[in-house]
Every structure is written in C-alpha cells, then in structure tokens.
Amino acid sequence: MTVLAIRDLTLRIAGRTLLDQADLVVDPGRKVGLVGRNGAGKSTLLRAIIGEIAPDGGEIRLAARARLGHVAQEAPAGPASLLETVLAADTERAALLAEAEAHPDPHRLAEIHDRLIAIGAESAPARAAAILDGLGFDAAAQARPVGEYSGGWRMRVALARALFLEPELLLLDEPTNHLDLEATLWLEGWLARFPGAAIVVSHDRGMLDRCVDAIAHLDRGRITFYPGSFANFVRVRSERQAQQAAQNERVGAERARIQAFVDRFRYKASKARQAQSRLKALERMPPIEAVVEDHVTRFAFPEPAALPPPVISLRRAAVGYGGRAVLREMTLRLDQDDRVALLGANGNGKSTLAKLLAGRLDLLEGEQHRAPRLKVGYFAQHQADELDPEGTPLSHIQALMPRATETACRGQIARFGLDADRAETRVAALSGGEKARLLLALCTRDAPQLLILDEPTNHLDIDAREALVKALAEYGGAVVLITHDPHLVELVADRLWLVAEGTVTPFDGDLDDYRALLSERARGSGARTEEAAPTRRDERRERAEARTALAPVRERLKRVEARLATLAEEAATIDAALNDPRLYAGNRADLITRATARRAAIARETEALEGEWLALSEKLEAA
C-alpha cells in the first residue's frame, strides 16, 4: 500500500515544461526530501499534489481516506486566539463538537462521543498547545488573537495547524523560512517522531540529513529516487555521474576508432564490405549521454587588513531604543579570528545586538571599544526591500564604489556568482537568491574586518549555502551569525552567545547541549543537562586555532602576490623598452646591459616567488 503514487506526471507553467512523465511513490511513514535547483518545479509539484493546479498529463493518486496536510499560503487572521485557530484546523473535531452541543438525540450523541474519543479530541488542546509552544508561542501568546501578530509569526501558526492534523501525508515547503534556530531545532525533533509520511522541500542540508530517509531529486523534468539521507544522495549521485562520464569516454573512443576505419576504407573495393559492417555497428552503438554537471557555486569574501585585538569589546553595556534598554549588563569581547553564532528565540534582542556591533545603535550605558579603522559588513534580509527595483547589480555596486573601475565593480559582483548577464539584470527580475548574493557583494565591498550576517541563507539553495560555508572558512575577519540553519552554525561557529533574559552571555557548549537545554526547558525543569558533549567544542576550538596558525601564511601569501604583481609590471616595462628599436640607436650598450641583467634578475625572483606561492597555497588548501 502507498500513501501517494505519481505516474507519468507532466506539468507545464506558462508554456515551460517542469515535469515530463515523472514518477514518485511514497510509502506510509516515509519521509522524503524533495530537492532540486531553484525553478526546477518543486513547489509546483506540491501544489499539484494538493490539487491547486491540474496536471497536463499522468496522474496523482492519494490513498483512500488518507488525510493530506500542508501549510496554507494565506496566513491565518481574525479575532480567534492562536490556540483556537490551531484547534479549528481539525474540521472533523470542530464539526462533531458543534453537533454535540445542538443534537438532542441520545443515540447520535453516543456516536459522536465515541468518534471524539477515537480521534483523541480530549487531548487535542494539550497537543495544540505543545506544538505552539515548540514554535515559540508561550501560554500568554497562545491566548492572544492571531490577527495581532505579524505575517511571519502568523505563518508559524499556519505551520502549527498543519502539524496539529498529524495527517497520513504532510507536505512542507521550506518550513524553516519563518522560524528561528530554536523553533527549527524543535521542528526537526517533531519530524523525526512524526509517524506519518512527509514530503519536505528544504535547502537546509542539516534538516535533510536528520529528518528524512529518502531523497527525491527533481532535475530536468524527471524525479530520481534515492533511499537514505541527503549525504547518501550526494555520494551516490556523484558516483553515477563519474560512471556515466567514464562510459561516455569509452563509447566515444570506440566510435572514433570505427569512424576512422570507415573514413579510410569505405571507397576501397577490397574493404567496402568491412566498412559497411562498421557503419552498421556504429549505428547500433548507444548514444553518448550528456553529463550535465551542475554549475559549481563559489563565493569569495575580500581579504581584510589585520587589526589589533580586540576589534570590539563591551563592558557592562546596555542598548535599546528610545532610551529603553533591550539588552543590558553585556561584557563581551570580539577578536578578528572569532566566529560567533547568536542563540536565542526571536524577539530576545539578537538583531538589536547585531545593530550595536554594526555601529547602527549607540550604547545607553556602559563602555564600548572599537578598533581604529574597523570596517563592518552588515547583511540583513530586509535590505532587499531597500534595493532600487529598476537598478541593476552593477549600478548598485558602482553607486557605493564611485572611485572603482567598472572591471573592479564587476569583479566584486562576480565574487558571489552573479555573472555578466546577471550584473546588468534589473533587480526586480532577480530571484530571492540572486538578491541575497547582491547584498553580500554590497556589504563586503570594502573588505570589512567584521561580517555580521542576519539570516543569510533564507533564499540560498543548498549549493549556495555550501559555498557560503567554504567562503566563511577562508575569510580572514570576524563573523557574527544569526541563523535558523543548524548546519551553518555547526560548520561555521567556534563560539556561541546566548541572547536571553535581557542580556548576552557566552554559552559553554555546542548545539547538542543547546538542544538538551531546550528539551529540559520544554519539560519544565529549567535545569541544564550535565552530560558532556566535548567533541564539537574541541572541533570548534581546533578550527579557531588552525585559523590563527594560518594567519601568517595568508599574510605572507598576500605579500607574495603583491610582489609578483609588482615584478610583472616592471618586467612588462623592461620588455617594452628592450623591444623598442630606438633603444639600439646610438651608444646605449650600458643601458641595454643593465636592463637585460635586471630582466634576468626579475625572472629568477619571479620563479622563486611562484614556487613559494604554490607551497603556501597548497598549505592553505590542505588546511
């Protein structure tokens, strides 16, 4: 028995074929991660399963009596409380309760109560409250009207309604986009325990590794099914691509050999029969399948100049708005080699701290030290709304780099994967991921020593997120990270700061410790687990120590590159002079001798520096 069967499905949007005779089967209890590049058709497929759009061919079959759960695109609103709004999602329970109040027939009342018991109606309020609490709404918040909340918080309520139903098939499209890290960690745990089947569209690699047991890859109109986690999908797919490339190479070589024989002997009478035989063999050979390699995404942050430590320090500091403190009694230090992730639920003050560190808010009290010549790059998703929709990435970067050449401006955009065509595309026509790349290019244009990233991955696909991780590993400045992506925190952060209860304190632990802390709080104990989990802390410390140890290597590499550029310019000048016939007119033998000797010395020094550059680069690459 299957929960969902998709056979020969074809979907077209605006004349473009997104799925072409695609197949997918989902068994009961199976958690499937639906992945593919932006625009491949993942969200469209979910809409077709829900029934919002009709297929152009094939069929989508849901098991009889199977309930389908999904997050409505329209956020709930109105005067009903959050708890009432979630409970109302179970329409059967609501209808039975309403009928029970109005029905006088005792026999029908007995049937209604039997059915209410069967569907667990009595425990429903407690279950709804637990889901809302996990998504960040305490008891007081659950009693407030849903209409009082902003769109992002109301989308959390929409998610709570879908989870509350506990359907046989749950469809989730980027479920963490409106969540903070705490709610994301809770959702991962909920999905791991959920007994039903689920299809999850997500760019969060950590969620795909922890919460699904199969991957459905949507690529060029077809769906390929891979049992196992996302990591297994990457491994198997890479192996298949390598095998296909090797097969193509063998077939191509054999084709070339046969074609060469045919071309040589097809018109020679004694070899004509063999040539014709070879032609038939050539026709029977399998066609060479194209190995369509995904475009490799690369990000690169400009290398900042070194500053004396600390770059920022706070002592008994308070910050807030309108004279009212949001955070107080903060004593913190940030060095240029630090990688800090901020923990704490939305609304606790993470963005307020980010604005203070970025220099956009002043202290209300306490002391702050900032290193002279400190440059800060500040990224926040709301900045996308401040972009000129009629401008282009190139015009935006040129406005902020008025003294830079067009080549330099294009180079800064290209650091984040915006090619020549995208550089001149109107911002209004850019995707969310492309706007995020533009914001990264803008905020790092002057090689800042401190980079503050507030939810940088919201619109980035999996490849772009991995590119961001690699670029941050190579970046020579400090990083302060606010994100709902646990995978990003685990790979980037060496230190964790907890923003809670009106202050900021270093958190002595890793995400596993933090998960345990949240679990204890959810059970009402408030006590922190004492189980040791030192492995990741050790890894973070080792990464920090490795970056510190490699700092001189990076600095020497920069000096070598600068010297090579200087020598190249000098060599070009000498070469131009030696190639000028006027140099050889008259008695200039001494000048020619000196120029030739200097050119030889430049060549020797260049050769030595290139060898050193290669050794330094290999050392960084190995690290």
Sheet with 57-62: list strands edge to edge.
16-26, 4-13, 57-62
What is the chain's mean pLDDT, rounded? 84
- What is the predicted pLDDT for the residue at 287? 57
Query: What is the C-alpha to C-alpha distance for residues 483 and 351, in angstroms, rounded to an integer?
Result: 11
Is the predicted pLDDT of residue 300 greater than 70, yes or no?
yes
Q: Give the CA dihedral 75, 80, 81, 82, nearest 10 degrees.
A: -30
- What is the predicted pLDDT for the residue at 445? 93
User: Which residues, in sequence order, are CB contacts of 83 under 8 Å at separation 6+?
Assistant: 125, 128, 129, 132, 142, 143
pLDDT digits (tens, 9 = 90+) for 409-434: 999 999 998 888 889 899 998 888 88
- The rounded percent of the chain whose pLDDT value lies above 70 is 87
Q: Is pLDDT larger for residue 538 or for residue 399?
A: 399
User: The domain 312-530: what is its CATH number?
Assistant: 3.40.50.300
Does residue 310 have a cis bond before it (omega within 30 degrees)? yes
Burial zone of 601 (CB within 10 Å; 0-12 exposed, 13-18 middle, 19+ buried): exposed
Let me know how many helices (H) and strands (E) the chain has, helices first.
21, 18
- What is the predicted pLDDT for the residue at 194? 92
- What is the predicted pLDDT for the residue at 364? 94
Read off the tokens for 302.
């400009």
The residue-averaged pLDDT of 451-473 equals: 88
pLDDT band, very low/low/confident/very high, at 56 (cuts 50, 70, 90): very high
Q: Is pLDDT larger for residue 14 or for residue 424?
A: 424
Determine the residue type at 390.
E
Phi, psi of 19 (to 5 degrees): -125, 135
> Quick one: fold of 4-233?
Rossmann fold (3.40.50)
- What is the predicted pLDDT for the residue at 531? 38
Q: What is the DSSP string of 233-288?
A: HHHHHHHHHHHHHHHHHHHHHHHHHHHHHHHHHTT-GGGHHHHHHHHHHHHHSPPP
In terms of Cα–Cα distance, which of 91, 109, 92 is closest to 100? 109
For the chain, how big is the Rg over CA atoms in Å? 31
The residue-averaged pLDDT of 531-554 equals: 59
The residue-averaged pLDDT of 499-516 equals: 88
Phi, psi of 506 (to 5 degrees): -60, 135
pLDDT band, very low/low/confident/very high, at 292 (cuts 50, 70, 90): very low
Which stretch of DSSP H or E encloses residue 100?
helix 91-102
pLDDT digits (tens, 9 = 90+) for 567-584: 888 888 888 888 888 777
Read off the tokens for 2.
């299957």
pLDDT band, very low/low/confident/very high, at 291 (cuts 50, 70, 90): very low
Contact 341, 387 (CB under 8 A): no
